[in-house]
Structure 1
Amino acid sequence: MLRYTLMRLGIFVGCFLVVWGLVATGIVPRGLGGSNYLWIALLALVVSAPISFVVLRGERDRASEKIVARVDRAKATMDANRSMEDQADDAARAHGA
């Protein structure tokens, strides 16, 4: 997951630098007043999102598989704990009766 996040951040930084260069050369219009860097960041975000979606598809799938495996392990642990509690409760009720 960290690898995916760093790759996504790298794509954003690359897009930010490209958009900054385009704004600095006047190819893309500047933001209003002092909002130039916010404008550049928003443009970079809009450009980097579809690029990340396409380029990082495989990495996103691998991260998703890891997350699913962790969730399945957590569910199995919770089920095991729940069944142990049920067995202990049943034993206590049988012993008390």
Structure 2
Amino acid sequence: MLRYTLMRLGIFVGCFVVVWALVYSGIAPRGLGASNGMWMIMLALVVSAPISFVALRKERDRASERIAPRLDRSIDRVKSNLAANRSQEDEADDAARTPAPAGAPAKDTAEDAGVKAS
């Protein structure tokens, strides 16, 4: 992943140098007022994005192959945690809805506690 990032940064820097040379020579327009630097950065980003997309395709595929197993493990862990939470909620809900056996003391609910306190 670091290799891909460095290669992408290198393409951006190369595009920035080319854009700077074009603006400095007057071929490309300058930005308005103090925005010249931001104009060159934005123009270099717009030019470098499609170049990176095409030129770094193999490197991007290699990086995604290294990342995919970690991502799958992470997703599996999140899914198992969600399933555990759902089962805990279902058990608590079922326990709250189950009627008390005959002769057992009734559970105090929030409404009953308010009535008893008055």
Instruction: Normalising by structure 2, report the TM-score.
Output: 0.62
Q: Tell me by how many angstroms 1:67 deviates.
A: 0.8
The structure, 1 or 2, with the larger RCO (C-alpha pairs under 8 Å, 6+ apart) is 1
- Which ranges in structure 1 are unaligned for 5 or more consecutive residues? 86-97
Quote the residue 1:48 is aligned against. 48
Quote the residue 1:90 is aligned against. none
Q: Tell me by how many angstroms 1:75 deviates.
A: 5.1
Distance in 1 separating the partners of 2:21 and 2:48: 15
Quote the residue 2:61 is aligned against. 61
- Which ranges in structure 2 are unaligned for 5 or more consecutive residues? 85-118
Distance in 2 separating the partners of 1:52 and 1:60: 10
Aligned length: 81
Largest Rg, 1 or 2: 2
- Identity of aligned pairs, percent? 69
What amino acid does structure 2 have at the position aligned with 1:69? P
Stretches of 4+ aligned residues off by more than 6 angstroms: none
User: Which structure's residues are more often helix, by fraction?
Assistant: 1
Superposed CA RMSD in Å reads 1.9
